[in-house]
Amino acid sequence: MAKASLIYIHGFLSSPMSHKAQVTKSWLETNRPEVEFFAPKLPPYPEETGRILQDRVESLSGPIYLMGSSLGGFWATFLAEKYDLPAIVVNPACKPQALLPDYVGKPLQNYHTQDTYELASHHIAELEAFDVAVSRTQNYWLMAQTNDETLDYRQAVAKYQSARQLIEEGGNHSFEGFENHLSDCMEFFDHFYGQRT
């Protein structure tokens, strides 16, 4: 079988240098070195991001594991539905197009780099086009913390209502203690593909 790959999808104005991306990469290097790690650098422009992610998925031949945080959870859901892939979504954005107007026409800067951006109104419609309903419920594991200061975790509980869920009291948007769940995350991915062999 071809080598398995994990695609980590970072959030809005974040980068592959995010804490969860880095701890996932380090954990895999130590515990699952046979799994190839990818964390694409994604701009806030939806059509461009959608193209980058679809090109990455289509370039890989082995099992693909998706892991997305915040807006990355939104993108992981789109990919999971389109390509029938397993996805772990961490404090995911469920309707990010509703939040985007707050950022249109304002100077934006990446949290980890000096990159700057400016969104236009047409980017809202672009993002809307990638919003899909959750139909492959067995493909998902929702991880959310109730004290997420950025997104209402209850929206995610409702959207992924028939999927596996880990809802932790307290925490924050970055999901405190995420690294403690990585072994379970890999078991989820292995089980998904194990059922299909």
Residue 12 in tokens: 């809005």
Give pLDDT tens digits for 125-179: 999 999 999 999 999 999 999 999 999 999 999 999 999 999 999 999 999 999 9
> What ranges in 6-144 are assigned the alpha helix state H?
19-31, 46-59, 71-83, 96-99, 122-128
Specify the pTM.
0.96
CATH topology of domain 5-191: Rossmann fold (3.40.50)
- ∠ at Cα 77 (59, 7), nearest 5°? 40
pLDDT over threshold 70, residue 93:
yes
